[in-house]
Each structure stands twice: as C-alpha cells, then as structure tokens.
Structure 1
C-alpha cells in the first residue's frame, strides 16, 4: 500500500530532465505511460486533446526544422514565435522573479555567464533538439472547450510525467515546443480544431549535472489567498 510518506517522497522527486541518453523507449513502456495519463480527471470525460509522437526520422526531421526556424528568426522579436496560445512577455510582475530564478539556476549549473549570449542561444537550441531525447511529444487542445481543454491537458500531462518517473524515465515539459505550430503541424495529420499548446521531451536521463538541479518548491503559503482561520 502506498503510504503518505512514500507518495510525498515520490512526488517531490520528480524534476525536469534536460539531458537524455539516446536509448529508445520500449514501445510497450511508452504505451503504458501514455495510457496512465488517462487516469487524470477530464471535463465530462471529453478528453479534449490530442498527442503527437515524434520518433526516429520524424523526430529528427522535426528537430532540424525547428532549429532552422529558430536560427532564421533569431533577430526577430520573440524569436519569431507565433504560438496558438499567447501570453504576456515579459512575464507579469510577481511571476517574472520566479522565472528568473529558474533561469539563473540552470545557467549557473551549466556554467553559462548571463552575458554569454552565444552559450545561452545554444542552450535555447537544445530545446528544439529535445535535449537529446529519442522521443518528443506534442500536445494539442481542442479550441472549442477553451480553458477546460487546457486544464484537462495539464492534468493528463502531470499523470503522464509521474508514470514516466515511476518507470525510470525523465520528462521535460517545454513551452518552447509550442512556439512554431505551423512547423509542428506539418508532421501531424490533425484538425485545425486543435491548437498546439506545448511539447515534452521524454527518455532515459543521462548523468549530466543539469539533471541534478531542481527548481525550488514555493511555500504553499505564497499561493493561498485565505485560510479557515480568517
């Protein structure tokens, strides 16, 4: 039986993996991980999302196209991104500080100076190389259910990531992989009713130091707007 302590320890051990071994994921393992994601709740059980899987030649072709797109757009505002879902840039006050702490932690671990624009751009490129992972997943949400579709997708992704962790796999959910939807959709036969939200690299973690770094967990008190004591 899974105890509370076991669950807390397991859940806290999940982190983003940013360097992978080239080892392929056995088909049955990937199938189980994707299926386990369906244990997550869904609005009226609609499951208003689709998953694109990129492996082998499709993975390599898509990675090359995305890296090329990034390189051709490097001088454009926002790297020429044209995502289906947009957000405020820079992040709003109160949130940008958290994002900056993550960036600093990653660059410090990699030994990248904040003024080394070439090294920072190279790390950005790694997103589109899926950090070396042999498999990339792309997540699409149905436009017709608006926020409920993205909520359901988020629930699914979390269950998927925990299942992957339990099977010795690493994952990295990546907003960057949603920046160029027209490039991604060229590789998948999917209705225009579905919008690209993000992607995920998945595979077996390497022993690179970046995989030992972990973002801080915010005190829950920072996120609570009221309590039973008030």
Structure 2
C-alpha cells in the first residue's frame, strides 16, 4: 500500500495535469483512514461562483459501496434485459415494475459530429488496449458493467451539484471534480470520473441524505491503480490551436 501522507506539494500542477489519467482498474487496497477527506479538503480550494461552492459529496466504501454496487448491477441487468426483450415481454416487465434510468441528468445523448469523432476515437483506443473487438458485444457489455463495480476501487464518491444556479452549479462542480482528481493524483491515488453512475440516482439517494435541489452529476472511483494494461491508455488531447476560436473576418 502506498503512503497516504505524502505532502500535498509532492507534485507541481503542470506535472499533475500532464500525468493524471483515468484509472479503470484498481487494486483492492483500501485508502488509509482519513485520506479521502484530506483529498476533498485540498479540492475545496477550487473556484466557484461567488464562492458558494454549490456541491455536496457522498463518500462510500466498505459494505455501503458494495450495496450500492449491487443495486447498480441489478438496474443495469434489468435495463439490458428490457432492451433485448420482445414488445410483449417489455410490456410485462413494465407492468411488473421495471423502469428506465432514474438519474437526475440523462447520460444517453447524441453527439454532434465534431464531438462524436473524438468520442469514437477514444472508444476505439480504449477497447483496443482492452483487446475487445468491435463486434464482441458480450465483452463490451461486460466492460460497461465494470463501471458499476467502480472498476474495483475501494472508495467511490458521488458528486451532487445544486440546480439553483442553472448551468453554473454543474460548472463549479466540474472545477471541484478536476481538483479532486489532481489532489488525489498528487498523493499517489488514482481516480476515474464516471458519468455512467449518474444513469441511476436511487442507489445513492436511498443511502445518503441528499438536500433538496441537488442533482447527481457523476461518480468518481478512487483508489490505487493496478498494473493492468488499461491504465496505460492515454487518449489524444487537442492542441491549443484547435481549441482557440478564430477571429471573424
């Protein structure tokens, strides 16, 4: 197990930004007591609209994380069965209580061409490292299901953003999420922000007292990265020239 007491200045910001990666396979090693809270304390230095800090975090580990994971798997399995069912079977499932996603935000969307190209390129690269072929539907479903194991992480965060500020609540939550990822990385802890965990909110809401007006925006797996090849995946980043807007003629 790595030392969770590494000083917070053990890595400069440029190095942290350049070397942080989404971890998709974790060891079973638990985080030292208090380390998750220390990382969150570092991340609370993130900027926000008027310093209102419009986010709340549910932190799950141990039996609570296992129970949440079990609920996610049951919902995912039911959803996959519903997709494959005949129309009559779908009606019967609906009448028996099977419902679609209950997340606070939709995680199923259509990407415009520019974004879709980068999304697909990233997917191709990731599945290539995993050795999963384009037509191997069973392996793809199995890999998707790993989201609901939190990729083996012993700790998972669920970030809720206030909807009182319109778009600016999620914007501030995004700055906080990035700060959590960098603060964890500086201490040798891996993370993976998981929008998939926002597909359903009930597994988390049933166990944590979430204030009114706060919506689940994503989960974040947290722990120590394994040596699995998937953790070597580094998707391409855009260039500054590609991001900067041109002046109008």
Shift of 1:209: 0.3
Q: How does 1:139-154 map to 2 (within 5 A)?
A: 139-154=159-174
Unaligned stretches of 5+ residues in structure 2 = 1-11, 84-98
Q: CA 1:88 to 1:121, structure 2 compared with 1: closer, same or farther past 3 Å?
A: closer
Q: Which range moved further: 152-161 or 217-226?
A: 217-226
Q: Which range moved further: 6-15 or 19-28?
A: 6-15
Q: What's the RMSD between the two structures over aligned residues?
A: 2.0
Which of 127, 130, 146 is residue 147 of structure 2 equivalent to?
Answer: 127
Q: Deviations over 1:109-150 (max 9, x none)?
A: 010011111100000000010000000100101121121111
Correspondence 1:66 to 2:86: no
Using the alignment, how far apart are the partners of 2:58 and 2:220 within structure 1?
10
Which of 20, 26, 32 is residue 14 of structure 1 equivalent to?
Answer: 20
Which of 47, 53, 58 is residue 59 of structure 2 equivalent to?
Answer: 53
Q: CA 1:88 to 1:70, structure 2 compared with 1: closer, same or farther past 3 Å?
A: closer
How many residues are aligned here? 224
Q: Which range moved further: 174-183 or 127-136?
A: 174-183
1:74–1:80: 8 Å Cα contact kept in structure 2? no
Which of 158, 162, 166 is residue 138 of structure 1 equivalent to?
Answer: 158
Q: CA 1:194 to 1:37, structure 2 compared with 1: closer, same or farther past 3 Å?
A: same
Using the alignment, how far apart are the partners of 1:88 and 1:184 within structure 2?
19
Which of 214, 219, 230 is residue 210 of structure 1 equivalent to?
Answer: 230
Using the alignment, how far apart are the partners of 2:169 and 2:198 within structure 1?
16
- 2:3 is matched with none
Which of 182, 186, 189 is residue 162 of structure 1 equivalent to?
Answer: 182
2:159–2:218: 8 Å Cα contact kept in structure 1? yes
Unaligned stretches of 5+ residues in structure 1 = 1-5
Q: CA 1:127 to 1:88, structure 2 compared with 1: closer, same or farther past 3 Å?
A: closer
1:178–1:198: 8 Å Cα contact kept in structure 2? yes
Q: Deviations over 1:59-109 (max 9, x none)?
A: 0000010011000001456x9334312367221221011111111111100
2:161–2:215: 8 Å Cα contact kept in structure 1? yes
Shift of 1:173: 0.3
Q: TM-score, length-normalised on structure 2?
A: 0.85
- 1:30 is matched with 36
Q: TM-score, length-normalised on structure 1?
A: 0.91
**SS in structure 2 at match of 1:22:** coil
**SS in structure 2 at match of 1:84:** coil
1:70–1:80: 8 Å Cα contact kept in structure 2? no
Shift of 1:184: 2.1
